[in-house]
């Protein structure tokens, strides 16, 4: 059905979290302590099976309970969005029925959504990320969402653009399940163009919208001298999605790679014209124990574990883009001792605080996700139904030790950070002035 714009509920506590730009001094915004509702939905098995994590983790039945758990922990921000494959029913046709319920509840609870509009999958009628129509269709969808929910200010239009393209068209794991350079470049340019068009469409409705690019932060280590060229290529390639999204010129080797595999000069110029969007962007960095890779002499990679860690690698990304930063995803499985995830939480927090002490404007932190997840030990490739114990709560909605630790962390640090003034508005305007 075609969407119509309802009158938003009038709630005194539902004001937008950040004030509109003004020449007057604005009060500081809070530090963004967040969690997320895992809503990945790629297809596997040649498109015959969709891995809808909202269904597999019980969210459709227990969403009211899940939102209450967010409030219980004192978390003010929630990465969450309507499932694209269920909401986007056709060109310019949306079914907002479930989104209307859930977003009204979030607003009533005073939880600020960071709206995740595309998380690893597209509707069956679009096909996959090779479809050249996807960017325009998704841009219009994002604009329709903004008109439906004009009170929303924070967005992640396309989640983890790099991982979306790599897993779908480089590793052959999801969606189109391809593994050639031309398909990979096609996925990159379609995914990033979709994100750019979505940002522009949202800004037409909400000129002070803020976009938090949740993107995987990676590093590739050469195992031996013969691996050095491969590692150099991958360490340049890891920046491609953010380079194109932020209008940052790619290096000469990546330019040749893009041109050799189907990107046109006109398409490249489209991305380079997008620097004006930087004024509305926060660079969200995701970090897991699998984000560092050991590159072998033949170019193949395996996970290296933590060698540098979040703060060292994020420092490289900040030096490149000079944008405000948010730690937008991390987690770790609770192991036999019961404290493994809690130890990881404090390790990540320590890295974040080190960056802040060095002057990097880190504005938020996210434990992802609220509940345990399913089959991420195989990157959703195998439908084993194996529960990964990495949520703040288990799938029976019982709090885990890391959930209690995160609640303590928020209680202890939120007043301190508020006093310091984690002011996103001033940082955003400063970025705009220097862009």
| In a domain? residue 271 | yes
Tens digit of pLDDT for each residue in 328-354? 999 999 999 999 999 999 999 999 999
How many structural domains comprise the chain?
Answer: 1
| In a domain? residue 19 | no
Q: What is the dihedral of CA 299, 300, 305, 310, to 10 degrees?
A: 50
Are 400 and 388 within 8 A, CB to CB?
A: no
Q: Give the number of C-alpha atoms closer than 13 A to the C-alpha of residue 355, restricted to the C-beta side.
A: 27
| In a domain? residue 13 | no
| In a domain? residue 104 | yes
DSSP letter (8 states) at residue 226: G
Q: H or E element: which one contains 266?
A: helix 265-272
Q: What φ, ψ does residue 285 adopt, rounded to 5°? A: -115, 125
Are 337 and 346 within 8 A, CB to CB?
A: no
Q: H or E element: which one contains 388?
A: strand 387-388
Taking the C-alpha atoms of residue 73 and residue 411, their distance in angstroms, rounded to an integer, is 9
Residue 270 structural domain? 32-434
Q: What φ, ψ does residue 61 adopt, rounded to 5°? A: -90, -25
Are 281 and 208 within 8 A, CB to CB?
A: no
Taking the C-alpha atoms of residue 233 and residue 207, their distance in angstroms, rounded to an integer, is 37
Looking at residue 331, which CATH number applies to its domain?
Answer: 3.20.20.80
Contacts of 350 (CB under 8 A, 6+ apart): none
Tens digit of pLDDT for each residue in 358-402? 999 999 999 999 999 999 999 999 999 999 999 999 999 999 999
Taking the C-alpha atoms of residue 214 and residue 108, their distance in angstroms, rounded to an integer, is 26
Q: Which residues of 183-208 are buried (b: 16+ CB within 10 A; e: fewer)?
A: bbbbbbbbbbbbbbbbbebbbebbee
Residue with structure tokens 């009204």?
104
Are 262 and 186 within 8 A, CB to CB?
A: yes
Work out whether strand 88-90 and strand 43-44 pair parallel, antiparallel, or are unpaired.
unpaired
DSSP letter (8 states) at residue 225: G
Q: Which two tokens stand for residue 367?
A: 């434990």
| In a domain? residue 24 | no
| In a domain? residue 236 | yes
> Would you give per-residue pLDDT tens digits along the chain (435 residues)?
323 222 222 222 333 444 443 334 444 567 999 999 999 999 999 999 999 999 999 999 999 999 999 999 999 999 999 999 999 999 999 999 999 999 999 999 999 999 999 999 999 999 999 999 999 999 999 999 999 999 999 999 999 999 999 999 999 999 999 999 999 999 999 999 999 999 999 999 999 999 999 999 999 999 999 999 999 999 999 999 999 999 999 999 999 999 999 999 999 999 999 999 999 999 999 999 999 999 999 999 999 999 999 999 999 999 999 999 999 999 999 999 999 999 999 999 999 999 999 999 999 999 999 999 999 999 999 999 999 999 999 999 999 999 999 999 999 999 999 877 655 544 544 444 444
Instruction: Return the number of other C-beta atoms located less than 10 Å from residue 22's C-beta.
Output: 9
| In a domain? residue 12 | no
Work out whether strand 32-36 and strand 77-80 pair parallel, antiparallel, or are unpaired.
parallel
Work out whether strand 292-295 and strand 301-303 pair parallel, antiparallel, or are unpaired.
antiparallel
pTM above 0.85, yes or no: yes
| In a domain? residue 21 | no
């Amino acid at each position: 059905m075609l969407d119509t714009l309802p009158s938003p509920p009038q709630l005194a506590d539902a004001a937008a979290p950040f004030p509109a730009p003004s020449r007057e001094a604005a009060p500081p915004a809070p530090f963004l302590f967040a969690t997320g509702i895992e809503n990945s939905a790629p297809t596997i098995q040649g498109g015959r099976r969709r891995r809808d994590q909202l269904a597999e983790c019980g969210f459709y039945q227990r969403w009211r309970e899940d939102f209450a758990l967010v409030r219980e922990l004192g978390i003010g921000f929630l990465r969450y969005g309507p499932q694209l494959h269920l909401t986007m029913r056709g060109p310019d046709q949306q079914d907002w029925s479930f989104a209307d319920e859930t977003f009204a509840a979030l607003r009533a609870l005073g939880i600020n959504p960071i709206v995740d509009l595309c998380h690893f999958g597209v509707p069956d009628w679009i096909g996959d990320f090779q479809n050249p129509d996807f960017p325009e269709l998704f841009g219009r969808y994002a604009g329709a969402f903004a008109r439906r929910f004009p009170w929303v200010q924070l967005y992640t239009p396309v989640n983890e653009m790099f991982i979306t393209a790599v897993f779908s068209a480089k590793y052959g794991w999801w969606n189109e399940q391809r593994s050639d350079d031309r398909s990979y470049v096609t996925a990159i340019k379609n995914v990033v163009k979709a994100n750019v068009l979505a940002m522009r469409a949202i800004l037409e409705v909400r000129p002070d919208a803020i976009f938090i690019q949740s993107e995987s932060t990676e590093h590739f280590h050469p195992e031996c001298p013969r691996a050095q060229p491969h590692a150099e290529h991958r360490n340049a390639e890891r920046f491609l999605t953010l380079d194109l999204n932020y209008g940052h010129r790619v290096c000469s080797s990546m330019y040749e790679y893009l041109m050799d595999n189907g990107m046109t000069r006109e398409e490249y110029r489209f991305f380079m014209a997008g620097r004006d969007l930087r004024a509305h962007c926060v660079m969200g960095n995701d970090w897991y124990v699998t984000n560092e890779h050991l590159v072998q002499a033949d170019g193949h990679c395996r996970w290296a574990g933590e060698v540098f860690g979040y703060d060292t690698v994020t420092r490289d990304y900040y030096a490149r883009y000079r944008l405000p930063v948010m730690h937008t995803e991390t987690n770790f499985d609770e192991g036999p001792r019961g404290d493994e995830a809690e130890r990881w939480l404090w390790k990540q927090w320590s890295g974040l605080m080190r960056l802040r002490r060095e002057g990097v404007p880190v504005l938020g932190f996210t434990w992802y996700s609220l509940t345990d997840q399913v089959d991420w030990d195989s990157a959703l490739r195998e439908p084993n139904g194996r529960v990964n114990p990495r949520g703040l709560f288990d799938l029976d909605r019982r709090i885990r030790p890391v959930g209690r630790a995160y609640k303590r962390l928020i209680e202890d640090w939120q007043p301190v950070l508020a006093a310091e003034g984690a002011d996103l508005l001033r940082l955003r305007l400063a970025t705009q002035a220097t862009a």
